């Protein structure tokens, strides 16, 4: 079964319902359930959603409610952003709070481009999480600049082996569709640097190296209705993850 969660503001809610109709039209979904929720009360989600294998959601904050329901030990997030801000719970901080609250023990973020800056008022959560950026990025470690292992200068095999050693075999997988380049026009905000081909390559490697116990596709918006590339991307990602 597939659970559709039209969570968030109206563009996200409409986008999820459009995604359902699109998948039905292309015969990629049979049994499904729609979980209607308040647009902002993520704390209600664990009580209302089923323990499913596949979810299609609007705002990425909904993934916080899903992992609170499922309590996976390890999680992989494929996202243009790290979602590790640690000021208040929202779509930019859900992973930080999921780690802090123990909803998930360890996490890996793959292919982010926009590394969240830290300020005096906004901290970046760094415990029990590894980041593999899409492009070459560096960080200061004990006074010296060191490069992150990244998808630009490291092989897919290196990154997957490193992630597997850190997380173990069983993972929950969440894909934020804003990880794609701007021309796909599927999510509402800043986009990443991946082509669809590169995203499918990463997801294929995750399927090959991990046991994906459940997954969600997040940040679906009604922009997809008017985007040929966006519809194709959603179709291909859902089909790949739904196989097997």
Q: 134-193: per-residue pLDDT in tens?
A: 987 776 666 667 778 999 999 999 999 999 999 999 999 999 999 999 999 888 777 889
By DSSP bridging, strand 54-57 and strand 32-34 are: unpaired
Q: How does residue 44 score in pLDDT terms, banded at 50, 70 and 90?
A: confident
Rounded to two decimals, what is the model's pTM?
Answer: 0.94
CA 233 to chain centre: 14
Domain locations in the chain?
2-242
Handedness of CA 203, 28, 81, 185 (dihedral sign): positive
Instruction: State phi, psi for 124 to the nearest 5 degrees.
Output: -110, 120
Fold type of domain 2-242: 3.40.800
Weakest mean pLDDT among 124-133, 158-167, 202-211: 124-133
Give the HSE-up count for residue 242: Cα atoms under 13 Å, Cβ half-sphere.
Answer: 19
Write the DSSP symbol of residue 115: P
């Amino acid at each position: 079964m597939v659970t559709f969660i039209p969570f968030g503001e109206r563009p996200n809610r409409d986008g999820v319902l459009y995604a359902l109709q699109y998948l039905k039209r292309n015969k990629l979904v049979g049994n499904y359930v729609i979980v209607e929720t308040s647009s902002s009360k993520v704390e209600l989600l664990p009580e209302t959603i089923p323990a499913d294998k596949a979810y299609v959601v609007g705002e990425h904050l909904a993934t916080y409610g899903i992992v609170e329901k499922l309590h996976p030990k390890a999680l992989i997030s494929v996202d243009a952003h790290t979602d590790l801000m640690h000021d208040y719970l929202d779509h930019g901080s859900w992973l930080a709070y999921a780690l802090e609250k123990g909803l998930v023990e360890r996490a890996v973020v793959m292919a982010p481009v926009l590394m969240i800056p830290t300020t005096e008022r906004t901290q970046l959560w760094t415990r029990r999480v590894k980041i593999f950026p899409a492009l070459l990025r560096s960080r200061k470690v004990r006074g010296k600049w060191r490069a992150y292992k990244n998808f630009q200068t490291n092989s897919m095999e290196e990154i997957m082996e490193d992630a597997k050693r850190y997380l173990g075999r069983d993972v929950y997988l969440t894909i934020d569709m804003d990880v794609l380049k701007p021309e796909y026009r599927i999510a509402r905000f800043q986009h990443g640097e991946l082509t669809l081909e590169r995203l499918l390559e990463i997801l294929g490697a995750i399927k090959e190296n991990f046991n994906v116990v459940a997954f969600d596709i997040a940040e679906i918006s009604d922009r997809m209705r008017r985007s040929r590339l966006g519809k194709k991307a959603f179709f291909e990602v859902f089909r790949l993850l739904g196989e097997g």
